[in-house]
Structure 1
Amino acid sequence: MGPTIRRIASYNTHQEYSVDLFGNELTVTVTSTPSVIRRWIRKAVFYQRRAPSYHPLVVGVGVQWTPAFYYYPREGYDPPADTLQLCMGKRCLIIQLCHCDRVPNALRSFLANPGTTFVGIWNGQDARKLERSRHHLEMGKQILDVRKYVKDSEGKSLRRRSSEQIVERCMGCQGVRLDWRISMSDWNVDCLDLAQILQASLDAFVCFELGVWARLWQV
């Protein structure tokens, strides 16, 4: 059985979901509210720094945007980021940047912290998309592409492997794949659907887990 998702709470300011990934239960928060973003960052950092297996701060990162043909048919348009996903431990946050009136300074400071290791996968455009967003978010250091650092049991590089293959080889989880049809969907909608939330949260969680597994804070 593959990953599953269910909604566990809905508020005016945010929604919360539970994602089951082969026994790993993730709590996912979806929001565009500055106070919720600020509170999530504070709590996630607090718990991560007090985890039994403490290590320098690692954050799984994902960015989604809506393909240009949805709203901007003119050639050459470079869509900005619509969502930013962050994951630490079993906590994931999906920020709907396109619907934020503003973002808290806590988020800007968090992203700009050069002491934090940010990890993505197939993420060559992510930093540029964040800078092009209406909030002009800047990263304090490069978002590492985990593909460049993971190896299989024989020491062979996995950089040309798919996300699904890397997760299977390194984490032992089969069937975790990023569906290109979901990636190419409309991320500018008011309410993301369950498939979008599931894929966005799995993307960020996998990046966090692989970043810790590969000890990327040492890079």
Structure 2
Amino acid sequence: MTVSIFDHQLPNDSHNLYDVSFYTDNIHTLVTQTPSMVNTWLTETYQIYQSRPHRMIVGLDVEWRPSFNSYQNRVATLQLCVDGRCLIFQLIHAPFIPPSLVNFLGDASLTFVGVGIESDAERLLEDYGLGVANAVDLRVLAAEELGGRELRNAGLRGLVMEVLGKELTKPKRVTMSRWDNMWLTHAQVQYACLDAFLSFEIGKCLNAAG
């Protein structure tokens, strides 16, 4: 697998930018806990894609600190990706949820895609009151479009291989890491970005927007 990350090392605490490379794709990634930066990212996303005739597909994923008992930690990060642009919003450290994000997730003209996205949407609603208007599970879509019932039980790594023909590595040490940390590591940023980006890519290939 060909994957790398470049840290722009911006001189402020409100946000940072990274370029995550996966094979031939380059994903421009914003990591922030600042509502105004989320506003800017969402505004730019609408501006870029409003002239396109097809429904916008958005890759969606969330991460949280693993729990080893019955208590479930709050969602720590929300990842959104459209084409080569990814947002990693550190919900758990944000002073408030910007209305622009509420409206974006609640926009029924968009299609949000992910693996097991219904459970992610439930967590967002329970933890932050964020509703996802139009969620499509990529496992169900892949099973319908490709005719393989076993795909209903596939994970993201399996779908990436089946649909995109590429290998994705998901290190357990990153999966089980402290997603509630104020500063995410390069490995975490790369992992979180790729989950949302590859969800978008699979959704686009399977024509999730219909």
Answer whether TM exceeds 0.5 for this pair.
Answer: yes
Instruction: In structure 1, give the amino acid aligned to 2:124.
Output: L
Report deviation, 1:50.
Answer: 4.2
Corresponding residue for residue 106 of structure 2: 112
Say whether residues 1:167 and 2:167 are aligned partners: no
Q: Establish whether residue 146 from structure 1 lines up as the match of residue 147 from structure 2.
A: no
Q: Deviations over 1:26-68 (max 9, x none)?
A: 10000010110000011022213346xx521110000111122
Change (3 A) 1:153 1:82: closer
Unaligned runs of 5+ in 2: none
Q: Which protein is richer in helix relative to its size?
A: 2
Amino acid at match of 1:44: T
CA pair 139-161 structure 1, distance change in 2 beyond 3 A: closer
Match of 1:68 in 2: 67
Give 4+ residue runs of structure 1 displaced > 6 Å after superposition: none
Q: CA deviation at 1:131?
A: 1.9
SS in 2 for 1:217: coil
Match of 1:4, as an amino acid?
Answer: S
Q: Which stretch of structure 1 is more off in the superposition, 122-131 or 31-40? A: 122-131
Offset, 1:210: 1.0
**Does structure 2 conserve the Cα–Cα contact (< 8 Å) formed by 1:48 and 1:88?**
no
Rounded to whole Å, the distance in 2 between the matches of 1:91 and 1:203 is: 13
Aligned residues: 208
Q: 1:144 to 1:179 in 2, by over 3 A?
A: farther
Q: Which runs of 5+ in 1 are unaligned?
A: 70-74
**Per-residue deviation at 1:122?**
3.1
Per-residue CA distance 1:118-137 (angstroms, 9 max, x = gap)? 0011334211221232x322
User: What displacement does 1:153 show?
Assistant: 9.6
Query: How big is each residue's C-alpha offset from its partner over 1:143-202, in whole Å with a ceiling of 9 and x where there is no partner?
Result: 22101111599743422333222212211222x133333222111101011111111100
Matched, 1:90 2:89: no
| Partner secondary structure for residue 159 of structure 1 | helix
State the Cα RMSD in Å: 2.0
Aligned amino acid, residue 157 of structure 2: E
With normalisation by structure 2, the TM-score equals: 0.91
- Is 1:213 the counterpart of 2:171 in the alignment? no
The equivalent residue for 2:174 is 182
Deviation at 1:78, TM superposition (A): 2.4
CA distance in structure 1 between the partners assigned to 2:146 and 2:56 by the alignment: 28
SS at match of 2:43: helix
Aligned equivalents of 2:172, 2:125: Cα separation in 1: 23
